[in-house]
């Protein structure tokens, strides 16, 4: 009987595995179709100066308008896109759309703002990444001074030598560079110093805990001190409350992004909610 139960257990397990594999395969095929049919849309979230609430930039965040499921968040499909390599063409679609959008904003005569686009580790490892970015800038007429690329700490730390070369060339083109989700990896000060970057984005997981959680407060203070000593700009992610904002500002973090200032919204809503007042 034990044997039977074991087998039964195994069959159950296998069936479960199949269901999971099938679900993944469906998602992969769906995503392939989405990329071909232009179902992906770029939303924008405001980045603001804490001193006066002035808009400094926007982060481009991908959304999937699924024909049946409605709006799907990136957490549900970015990991599969990354595993399957679909992230490369997805990332390029997002970059192209964001550059097209920023070129439009430029032509409207708005004061400079940065548009930040996420680069996945896989995209970042492409040997011709810099040429691809240059081609998209040329094609869309976007000013590289308005473009910021976000890479995660772990993506930057892999293959450090090649990474430094690519970052340097991007920067020479006028593109600025931010380390996303900072604090969740393990960059040392000396390592970070070698990277030609402009900005650290303090991860939301630490911002969430301030001012109440002593450990989070200490980590945020340490990151702020680190950025200051390396001459890097700072942005705090995921600011939801006035208490968080006040703490960050008092500690010397000048710029933030989070629901307190607005969620990621379609370009038209971003224009209405944030750009209408920008520079006016």
- Measured CA to CA, the distance from residue 58 to residue 41 in angstroms comes to 15
| Backbone φ and ψ of 112, nearest 5° | -55, 135
Of 233-252, which residues contact Mg ion (CB under 5 A)? Answer: 237
94 near ligand C2E (CB under 6 A)? yes
Q: Which of 30, 47, 50, 91 binds ligand C2E (CB under 6 A)?
A: 91
Specify burial of residue 128 (Cβ count, 10 A radius: 0-12, 13-18, 19+).
exposed
Q: Which residue among 30, 148, 153, 181 contacts ligand C2E (CB under 6 A)? A: 181
> How far is it between the farthest Cα atoms of the chain?
78
Phi, psi of 218 (to 5 degrees): -65, -40
Does 57 contact ligand C2E by CB under 6 A? no
User: Which range in 106-114, 146-154, 213-221, 255-263 contacts Mg ion by CB under 5 A?
Assistant: 146-154
Question: Closest Cα partner for 256 from 88, 52, 91, 105?
Answer: 52
Instruction: Pick one of 148, 153, 180, 271: the residue that binds Mg ion (CB under 5 A).
Output: 180
259 touching ligand C2E, by CB under 6 A: yes
Q: Give the C-alpha separation, 48 to 179, whole Å.
A: 18
The yes or no reply on residue 153 touching ligand C2E (CB under 6 A) is no
Q: Which two tokens stand for residue 143?
A: 């000013």
- Which of 160-168, 188-196, 209-217, 234-242 is the region at the interface with ligand C2E (rule: CB under 6 A)? 234-242
Cα–Cα distances (Å) from 122 to 60, 118, 228, in that order, read 18, 12, 30
Half-sphere exposure (Cβ direction) of 155: Cα atoms closer than 13 Å: 22
Which residue in 181, 232, 239, 256 binds Mg ion (CB under 5 A)?
181
Kindly state whether residue 114 participates in binding Mg ion, applying the rule CB under 5 A.
no
Binding residues for Mg ion (CB under 5 A): 118, 150, 180-181, 237
Binding residues for ligand C2E (CB under 6 A): 45, 61-62, 73-75, 78, 87, 91, 94, 118, 120, 180-181, 204, 237-240, 257-259, 264
């Amino acid at each position: 009987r034990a044997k039977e139960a074991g087998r039964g257990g195994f069959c159950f397990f296998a069936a479960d595995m199949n269901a999971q594999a099938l679900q993944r395969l469906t998602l992969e095929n769906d995503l392939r179709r989405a990329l071909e049919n232009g179902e992906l849309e770029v939303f924008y979230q405001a980045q603001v100066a804490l001193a006066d609430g002035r808009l400094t930039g926007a982060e481009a965040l991908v959304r999937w308008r699924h024909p049946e499921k409605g709006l799907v968040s990136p957490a549900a499909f970015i990991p599969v896109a990354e595993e399957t390599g679909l992230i490369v063409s997805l990332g390029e679609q997002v970059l192209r759309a964001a550059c097209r959008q920023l070129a439009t904003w430029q032509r409207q005569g708005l004061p400079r703002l940065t548009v930040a686009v996420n680069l996945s580790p896989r995209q970042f490892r492409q040997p011709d990444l810099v040429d691809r970015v240059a081609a998209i800038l040329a094609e869309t007429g976007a000013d590289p001074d308005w473009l910021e690329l976000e890479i995660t700490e772990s993506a930057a730390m892999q293959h450090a030598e090649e990474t430094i070369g690519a970052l340097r060339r991007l920067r020479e083109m006028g593109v600025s560079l931010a380390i996303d989700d900072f604090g969740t990896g393990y960059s040392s000060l000396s390592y970070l110093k070698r990277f030609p970057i402009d900005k650290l984005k303090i991860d939301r997981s630490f911002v969430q805990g301030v001012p109440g959680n002593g450990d989070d407060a200490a980590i945020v203070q340490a990151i702020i001190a680190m950025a200051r000593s390396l001459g890097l700009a700072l942005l705090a992610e995921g600011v939801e409350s006035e208490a968080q904002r006040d703490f960050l500002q008092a500690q010397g973090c000048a710029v933030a992004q989070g629901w307190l200032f607005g969620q990621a919204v379609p370009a038209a809503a971003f224009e209405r909610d944030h750009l209408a007042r920008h520079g006016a």
